[in-house]
Amino acid sequence: MLENFDKLYYNFTDAEKKKFMTLFLDRIDIYEEKDKENGLIKQAVLRFAIFINDTEVDAIRLSKEKSVEMVCLLQKQILPEK
């Protein structure tokens, strides 16, 4: 079912889409003022946890700040004794 979710959701009526979203969302937190760059939504709090990038989360947060992800490899080098 999840593999074809987009096809199923596309065929829902507006009332069915609303009912479906209320089953998954606990609440949506918004900022007091809308920002052109960042929008109005702070986060969507879910009724249950989901996995995003192998991490269990119960809310989808929309950061106001632009972020950069960086990965680095640290290795310990053992020098020979003199």
pTM given for the model = 0.54
* Residue 17's pLDDT band (cuts 50, 70, 90): confident
d(CA 4, CA 25): 21
Cα–Cα distances (Å) from 59 to 24, 52, 73, 82, in that order, read 11, 10, 30, 55
Cα–Cα distances (Å) from 36 to 29, 39, 72, in that order, read 17, 6, 33
DSSP collapsed to 3 states, 53-66: CCEEEEEEECCCCC
pLDDT at 74: 76
Dihedrals phi, psi of 62, to nearest 5 degrees: -110, 105
pLDDT at 26: 92
pLDDT (tens digit, 9 = 90+) per residue, 19-62?
A: 888 888 999 888 888 766 667 888 889 888 888 888 888 888 87
Question: Which one is predicted more confidently, 13 or 52?
Answer: 13
